[in-house]
Chains A and B, each alone.
Chain A
Amino acid sequence: MQIAINAGAYLAIVLLVSTAFFFQYRLFRYFDLSLGAVFLAGAYAFFFLTSLQVSSFVAAFSSVATAALVGLLFYLCLIRGLVKMEASSLAMTLCAFGFYIAGVNVIAMLFGDEVIRAPDSALSASVALGGGVASVSQLLEFVVAICSVGLVWIFLATGKLGRLFRAFGDNPKLANEIGLSSNLPILVVTAWGAALVGITGVLVVADVGVRPSAAFSYLIPGLAAVLIFGAKSIGDTVSGALVVASIGETSGYAFGQQWRDFAIYISVALILAARTSLLGINR
């Protein structure tokens, strides 16, 4: 049972992060590595507020809002300009990477480079579940991940904003030509994605703690999930997340948790190679 709980929590993190990557990748075809800084903004805001004795609920809400704000500011100040200049995917990815590096170091200067963990709160409490034990954070991760995937599916399948999002993702030039406005759907999904990563940061810092340089450990599996099957639909991303989580958990169980990331990264490289070499699929 404990293995299933751990696997579920890991899958939830991969789903949350990959959904955020999905939004940006679907719209602009780039890997938004700045989400690492967004993750840290959420985690450290929660740590800071709970250290000031602010209630867990208020601290969590404020931290997620902070993360969403950081994500929005990154888009408005840096990515929007590149999109207007029709920059390549690589240029945008590089810009996001630069923002991530700067963000990690700003946080390291403010809070230090050691592992921090939010003071004990309702989120870090443990709950007996079947024969195993789960923290409230792990349960929330799972619930939020499942709900967010469902909401994204509904958002994309129905409603005006979802249709606009798909239109700009599929053919931005044509969408512009026929006079569709891209501002609102882009801002909504940017804030939404950043909030999801912010929630992940909050739940991780409440559960196991985090350090500035550890953001990538949570981010890269989500990125891998988007890479594996592409991001035509949220279904592709969910399938990718299932594959990544399965590889991670299986290898972690068989060889030890320290080998989990190794197995994921090697698998991603091999899957990408197989996709391009054997199946001839290239973006």
Chain B
Amino acid sequence: MNAYLAHIAVEVCILSMLAISLNLMAGYSGLMSLGQMTFYAIGAYAAALLAPASGLGYVIVLPVAIFLAMALAFMESAVTIRLKEDEFAIATFAMHIAFWTLLMNWTALTKGPLGISGIPPITIFNITLDDPTKFVFLAVVSLIAMQLLVARIIHRPFGFLMRMVRDDEELARNFGRNTRRFRTSVWVASAAMAAAAGVLQAAYIGYVNPSSFSSMESTILLAIVILGGAGTYWGPVVGAVIIVCVPEGLRFLGLPTTQADNIRQILLGGVLIAAAYQAAFTRRGALSLSRHGAAS
């Protein structure tokens, strides 16, 4: 396989996994988080810090990263889960910026803006996945595994409850469900998925720095989910394909990478505006943003 196409495919797969994790929370459960990048960053930094040091490989790094992300998600949920929809979004955003500031300034651990390089590649059955044509198989298998996991979740009573809490939290309470505890569970599961995507990204690129996890990227992730179709099974993958491929297409038109990235972000800003109008127009919208939204 062509290395360039393999690289694009890997980027699509990892971004899809990240978008799937947010879709579980925002799309299926109505928890509009603007801080999902925090957990992606935990996965990436756990890989960067533990993989070279432990010598135990990713069999240990992955569960540790997932555990750390789940623990932080649990703590964050304890602080914010009672907040109303827009305050919840702003609180998750604020906590993400706080976390990002930590990555930037705790130089003894994270090396600050310089980032951490030299992250070893993943080795499976003595095959070192050190180039895109090899890594792409792991990325595709991981994406399929995550989609299967989501399929199991959403087609079971837990998934039905997710949508019930999103669409009518009062009704879910009347059925005797502890909706706060339920939302915390979804958040923790979603954080675990994002951390797994972060580990893959760090192992693939071999380098992490805070700029990949900025607040802007966190918001753009939400736009990706909305673009593909929040609360739909294939929506995050479709959104990721569009967002990875549009700048690549613009590059072929002769636009510099930075301008292509600017155009991508302007497009995503437009997606957020359109999503707001769709929500107001349909009174429910892809993310259940109506006045009686799930998080109220």
Known contacts A94-B289, A109-B259: A272-B87 contact under CB 8 Å:
yes
Asked whether A265 lies within 8 Å of B97 as measured between CB atoms, the reply is yes
- Nearest CB on B from A81, distance (A): 7
> A264 → chain B, closest Cβ, in Å?
8
Question: In the complex the two chains form, is A101's CB within 8 Å of B272's CB?
Answer: yes
Which listed segment binds B: A39-47, A82-90, A179-187?
A82-90
In the complex, are the beta carbons of B32 and A90 less than 8 A apart? yes
Report whether A266 and B98 are in contact in the complex, using a CB–CB cutoff of 8 Å. yes
CA distance A41 to B255 in the complex (A): 25
- Do the beta carbons of A86 and B87 come within 8 Å of each other? no
Main secondary structure on chain B at its contact with chain A?
A: helix
**Is A261 engaged at the interface, CB distance under 8 Å to the other chain?**
yes
Given A101-B219, A105-B265, A227-B87, the answer on whether A220 and B272 have CB atoms closer than 8 Å is no
Q: Tell me the complex Cα distance, A85–B270, Å.
A: 19
**B83 sits at the interface (CB 8 A):** yes
Give the distance in Å from the alpha carbon of A256 to the alpha carbon of B215 in the complex. Answer: 22
Majority DSSP secondary structure for residues of A touching B: helix
Is the beta-carbon distance between B94 and A268 smaller than 8 angstroms?
A: yes
Asked if B84 and A265 sit within 8 Å, CB to CB, the answer is no
Question: Is there an interface contact between B101 and A261, defined as CB atoms closer than 8 Å?
Answer: yes
Q: Which of B87, B269, B289, B295 contacts A99 (CB 8 A)?
A: B269
Residue of B104, B265, B270, B293 ringed by the most chain A CB atoms within 10 A: B265
Band of interface residues on B: 35 or more
Q: Are B269 and A101 in contact (CB under 8 A)?
A: yes
A30 x B280 contact (CB < 8 A): no
Give the interface segment out of A11-19, A199-207, A233-241, A275-283.
A275-283
* B273 interface residue (CB < 8 Å to A): yes
Pair A89/B86 contact, Cβ less than 8 Å:
yes
Q: How far is the CB of A206 from chain B (nearest CB, A)?
A: 25
* A98 with B272: CB separation less than 8 A: yes
Tell me the bound Cα distance from A259 to B98 in angstroms: 9
> In the complex, are the beta carbons of A273 and B281 less than 8 A apart?
no
Q: Whole-angstrom distance from the CB of B243 to the nearest CB of chain A?
A: 13
Distance of B190 from chain A, by nearest CB (Å): 18
Task: Determine the chain A residues whose CB is within 8 A of the CB of B259 once the complex forms.
Answer: 109
B262 within 8 A of A: yes
Complex contact B101–A95 (CB within 8 A): no
Does A91 contact B216, Cβ atoms closer than 8 Å? no
* B271 on the A face (CB < 8 A): yes
Q: How far is the CB of A41 from chain B (nearest CB, A)?
A: 15
Also in contact, A88 and B289, with CB within 8 A (given A101-B219, A216-B215): yes
The digit string for B56-82, where 1 denotes a CB below 8 A from any CB of A, is: 000000000000000000000011101
Scoring A31, A104, A105, A106 by chain B CB atoms within 10 A of each residue's CB, the highest score goes to A105
Q: Is A213 an interface residue (CB 8 A)?
A: yes
5 contacts between A and B (CB under 8 A): A90-B279, A94-B276, A99-B269, A99-B273, A261-B97
Q: Which 7 A-B pairs have the closest CB atoms?
A: A98-B272, A102-B269, A87-B280, A101-B269, A95-B276, A265-B98, A98-B273
